[in-house]
């Protein structure tokens, strides 16, 4: 097995659900120097960090090491690797590790690799790195397919509706559980009313119930966790202001758990242009993408630098029992990223 494939296979073979990434990050800490990185270490948040070069201009490769639970059994069969994280997003991180470790670093530049923890939950890994970098450019590790480049992601608004009372009979007072269900239904309908199905996904809102619980016995309690995907051009705060009257009218509380603005770069962003050129050099037509999810891309937007998201794999397989990565796509993505990084450092 060649070294670039061995790295990917070992990473996917090590389970690393959010909050339980230590075994995989320790493996990378020990392994990355053999792939060309000058040094590697675990930071205070548990992220794996590696670097090459000593220049002032930094290109940051920000991937994530954690996965959601579940997934297909880990299996390598001919040209396909099955397993949780193969697509989202250890494939991307392995591409970063190999390509970033072997690209020539010209004077004045450095390349930093971050494998962030907890991207699938609260993004604490990426948030921890915000004050520690001011990159010239950033690439986020998320599946776009070998020939795709992702320019943007929707934001999100995550909040919990809740209510309680001292108890009453349902025949006279339907109670907080009913109030939460009615409020959630009204909010979902409100978000649906703002959707325009003929627009690209990044311009459309959506909403889903993440979890709910309650009881109607004795002291009655209820809560509903709602996840709103926020489109470009709308702020999470403005959506929260529109939703709050629904919550108030039902006599409930509303706790905002997290929010992130949508972010999108242009097709002529320097990082996007470099990827487009590299993809064409390999004989392919670049595909420019905008995603409906939210990623550490939205957090990295605070650096205000050129950026894009890139990585092998079909994002429709994220979080599914069919998650798998074709190895020829993985190898091709390494070549495209190495070419992209070289172009950025030598022509900027």
Strand partners, 81: 76, 325
Which tokens sit at 237? 């705060």
Q: How far apart are CA 136 and CA 60, in angstroms?
A: 8
Catalytic: 119? yes
Q: How far apart are CA 127 and CA 136, in angstroms?
A: 18
Calculated CA dihedral for residues 53, 37, 134, 260, nearest 10 degrees: 160
C-alpha dist (Å) from residue 304 to 119, 134, 136, 244, 267:
20, 9, 9, 31, 16
Instruction: Let me know: does 89 contact 63? Beta carbons within 8 Å.
Output: yes
CB atoms within 10 A of CB 225: 18
Is the peptide bond prior to 89 cis by the omega test (within 30 degrees of 0)?
yes
Q: Which of 21, 58, 88, 119 is catalytic?
A: 119
Q: Which of 58, 66, 296, 329 is catalytic?
A: 66
Catalytic: 66? yes
Of 53, 27, 23, 59, the closest CA to residue 38 belongs to 53
Q: What angle do CA 219, 222, 227 make, to 5 degrees?
A: 165
Report the catalytic residues: 66, 119
């Amino acid at each position: 097995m060649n070294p670039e494939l061995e790295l990917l296979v070992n990473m996917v073979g090590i389970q690393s659900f959010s909050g339980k990434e230590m075994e995989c990050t320790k493996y990378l800490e020990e392994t990355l120097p053999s792939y060309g990185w000058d040094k590697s270490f675990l930071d205070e948040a548990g992220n794996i960090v590696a670097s090459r070069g000593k220049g002032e201009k930094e290109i940051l490769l920000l991937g994530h090491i954690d996965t959601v639970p579940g997934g297909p059994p880990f299996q390598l069969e001919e040209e396909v690797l099955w397993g949780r994280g193969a697509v989202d997003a250890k494939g991307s991180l392995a591409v970063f590790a190999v390509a970033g470790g072997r690209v020539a670093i010209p004077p004045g530049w450095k390349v930093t690799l971050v494998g962030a923890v907890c991207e699938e939950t609260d993004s604490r890994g990426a948030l921890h790195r915000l004050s520690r970098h001011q990159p010239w450019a950033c690439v986020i590790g998320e599946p776009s397919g070998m020939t795709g480049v992702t320019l943007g992601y929707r934001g999100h608004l995550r909040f919990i509706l809740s209510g309680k009372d001292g108890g009453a009979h349902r025949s006279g007072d339907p109670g907080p559980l009913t109030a939460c269900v009615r409020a959630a239904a009204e909010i979902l309908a409100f978000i649906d009313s703002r959707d325009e199905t003929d627009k690209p996904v990044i311009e459309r809102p959506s909403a889903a119930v993440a979890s709910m619980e309650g009881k109607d016995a004795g002291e009655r309690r209820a809560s509903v966790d709602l996840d709103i995907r926020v489109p470009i051009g709308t702020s999470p705060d403005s959506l929260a202001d529109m939703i709050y009257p629904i919550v108030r009218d039902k006599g409930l509380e509303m706790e905002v758990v997290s929010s992130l603005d949508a972010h999108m770069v242009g097709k002529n962003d320097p990082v996007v242009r470099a990827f487009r050129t590299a993809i064409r050099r390999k004989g392919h037509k670049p595909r420019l993408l905008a995603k409906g999810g939210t990623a550490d891309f939205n957090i990295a937007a605070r650096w205000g630098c050129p950026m894009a998201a890139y990585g092998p794999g079909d994002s429709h397989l994220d979080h599914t029992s069919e998650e798998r990565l074709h190895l020829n796509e993985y190898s091709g993505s390494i070549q495209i990223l190495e070419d992209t990084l070289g172009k950025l450092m030598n022509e900027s």
